[in-house]
Amino acid sequence: MIRHVLLLQWTTEATTAQREAALDGFERLPSQVPHIQNLVLEEDEGLAEGNADLLVTMDFADAEAWRAYQEHPAHRALIESALRPILARRSALQHRLP
């Protein structure tokens, strides 16, 4: 099992509607991309300056499933339509679950 972890920080210009559209897009992904076995979204509580705004974790059966997700049209559309316009910073890692 591979876990894909994202930390996303929005631009200061990102509107509430844009942030909600990004969250909605992530929430729809499991119904569009069969490779996603689990999705968790967590928004930052705003306790510390400079934190990421959103934590995204997704689980995949294996590296091949993760790669298929990376190229899936629904994932690419989410990036272009909802994320890229408001994304200031992105960090990611993939790790194997025990």
User: What integer pLDDT is reported at residue 91 of this predicted model?
Assistant: 98
Integer Cα distance of 17 and 4 in angstroms: 26
Please report the pLDDT score of residue 72 as a whole number: 98
What CATH number does residue 35 fall under? 3.30.70.100
Q: In the chain, how many domains are there?
A: 1
Give the tens place of pLDDT for each residue, 70-94. 999 999 999 999 999 999 999 999 9
Residue ranges making up the domain that contains 58: 2-96
Q: How many CB atoms lie within 10 A of CB 14?
A: 17
Q: Model confidence over 6-36: pLDDT tens digits?
A: 999 999 999 999 999 999 999 999 999 999 9
* Residue 66: predicted pLDDT: 98
Radius of gyration of the chain (CA): 13
pLDDT given for residue 2 in this prediction: 99
The pLDDT of residue 50: 93
pLDDT of residue 40: 99
How high is the pLDDT of residue 95? 98
